[in-house]
Amino acid sequence: MSSHDVVIAGVGIHPFGRFDGKSAVDFGRDAVTQALKDAGIEYKDVEAAYCACMYASATTGSRVLYNLGMTSIPIADVEAACASGGVAIRQAYMAVASGMYDCVLAFGTEKMPKGFMDPSQIFDKWQIDMGLTQNPAYWAMLARRHMEEHGTTPIQLAKVSVKNHRNAMNNPNAMFHTPFTIEEVLNAKMVCDPFTVYMLAAPNEGAAAAVVCSRKFAKEHGVRKPVTILSSVHRTTMHPWFRGPAYSWSTREDNPPLTVIAAKEAYERAGVGPKDLSVLEVQDTDCFSEIMFTEQLGLCPVGEGGKLVDEGVTEMTGRTPVNTTGGILSCGEPVGASHLRQVHELVLQLRGDAGVRQVKGAKVALGHVFGAGGNCAITILKR
């Protein structure tokens, strides 16, 4: 089977936010049930499943799917911090591309605690004691370095927040729907210079799912609008810039950034390039990250991500819209579900089913996530 004969037959989502009285299992069941209905298949047609989660307890995937039936299929939980959903999609993609299975579920579900993520899940005690293990600290340093080297401005950062919160007004599955002006973003409570509270994402709760299958299976089951997976990539870091203090300083600082490495593989496997992309969902746990990652994904040269924002290229009406859902800034980040949310949106865009968020004529789409431990995942889809 050609790797390009793997498609997404259906997608589902549980809204992102805070939901007292509902568990990660509840969220996951809702998203999976939607995805199966969207694909027009039954759970008995599924041959394997991968559940992305980080904070959920052991055997979360099994507990989600036992609500739908105990069919003895292999069910595995996978975790790669913010890139967990990308790994679930990749495992499903490889399972189908190899010919082992015809129909596989990939889903992510999470119920995150409020506040900053617990650094003890990621770092050793000595690293925590040295500092720099809370997310906004190292994000802020990356932003300040970019501002110093390339002239990126606080206004450009604020414009990303304004754009994404405006996009979220048309996304019922986002956590936040309030638009902001540039002045409101800049004058909000400072969290970690240069980031104000409206420039940072919040951990939260939610789930999303996708049915991944062979093109042959989709045709046999009358799938309405299958979307082709052109490539699904997961890479881990080659140098220590992404976090500090690092385990080792022996890695080379001049190695390419991880997203550059992952994007190169993703583009080569997909047979497309940055200029072919119609719409992107990109990691924006802070507003600078969107600027940095659009550069590293090849939308513009390094140092010109702020210019891309100023020129409106990444707006809904721009040449290459980015984060039409409102991104992580507006949707929040239940980490296991985050990339599956991106995939949900991109499938809708490529089908022409995104409603008021629809990017006209969308043909090729890219989802990108980047997380702790130096995990980056990229999925490229085609109509």
Q: Say how far apart CA 48 and CA 73 lie, in whole Å.
A: 5
Task: Say whether 213 is catalytic.
Answer: no
The whole-angstrom separation of Cα 125 and Cα 85 is 27
Which residues are within 8 A (CB) of 88 and not within 5 positions of it... i.e. 6 or more apart? 50, 51, 52, 78, 106, 107, 108, 339, 340
Instruction: Please give the C-alpha separations between residue 5 and each of 93, 99, 339, in angstroms, as whole numbers.
Output: 10, 10, 21
Residue 192 belongs to what H/E stretch? strand 190-192
Closest C-alpha among 89, 103, 156 to residue 308: 156
Taking alpha carbons only, the member of 236, 240, 244, 239 closest to residue 124 is: 244
Contacts of 142-146 with CB under 8 Å at 24 or more apart are 142/241, 142/288, 142/292, 143/194, 143/195, 143/286, 143/288, 144/193, 144/194, 146/288, 146/291, 146/292, 146/303
Count, residues in the chain = 383
Q: Which residues does 139 contact at the CB level (< 8 Å), separation at least 6?
A: 192, 195, 285, 286, 288, 289
Q: How far is CA 84 from the centre of its chain?
A: 9
126, containing H or E segment: helix 125-130
Specify whether the CB–CB gap between 250 and 238 falls below 8 A: no
Amino acid at 144: R
Residue tagged active-site, from 82, 192, 300, 376: 82
What DSSP string describes 347-376?
HHHHHT--GGGPPTT--EEEEEEEETTTEE
Q: Return phi, psi of residue 211, to 5°.
A: -95, 115
Residue keyed to tokens 């719409």: 279
Active site residues: 82
